Amino acid sequence: MIDYLKNIKFPDKDSHKGKNGRLLIVGGSKLFHAASLWSLKVASRIVDLVHYSSVEENNAIVQKLKEEFRDGIIVPRTELDEYIKEDDCILIGPGMVRTEISNDKAQMSNQIQSLKDIEKIKDEGLQTYYLTKYLLQKYPHKKWVIDAGALQMLDLDDIPNNAILTPHRQEFSKLIAKIPKSKDQISNKFQNPNNKKPKDTPDGGPDSIGDSSGVEESVMRFVKQYHCTVLLKGEKDIIASSEKIEIIGGGNAGMTKGGTGDVLAGLVAALYCQNESFTASVAASYINKKAGDALFEKMGYWFNASDLAEQIPKTMKMLRI
33 in a labelled binding site:
no
CA gap 54, 58 in Å, rounded: 6
Question: How do beta strands 72-74 and 89-92 pair?
Answer: unpaired
262 in a labelled binding site:
yes
Q: Is the separation of the CB atoms in 308 and 255 below 8 Å?
A: yes
203 in a labelled binding site:
no
16 in a labelled binding site:
no
Q: Is the separation of the CB atoms in 295 and 260 below 8 Å?
A: no
DSSP 26-83: E---SS--SHHHHHHHHHTTTSSEEEEE--HHHHHHHHHTGGG-TTEEE--GGGHHHH
CA gap 250, 105 in Å, rounded: 42
Q: Is the separation of the CB atoms in 39 and 308 below 8 Å?
A: no
DSSP 22-41: EEEEE---SS--SHHHHHHH
Plot region of 127 (φ>0 → left; ψ -120 to 50 → alpha; else → beta) = alpha
234 in a labelled binding site:
no
Annotated binding site for (6S)-NADPHX: 35, 95, 168, 262
Annotated binding site: 35, 95, 168, 261-262
Annotated binding site for AMP: 261
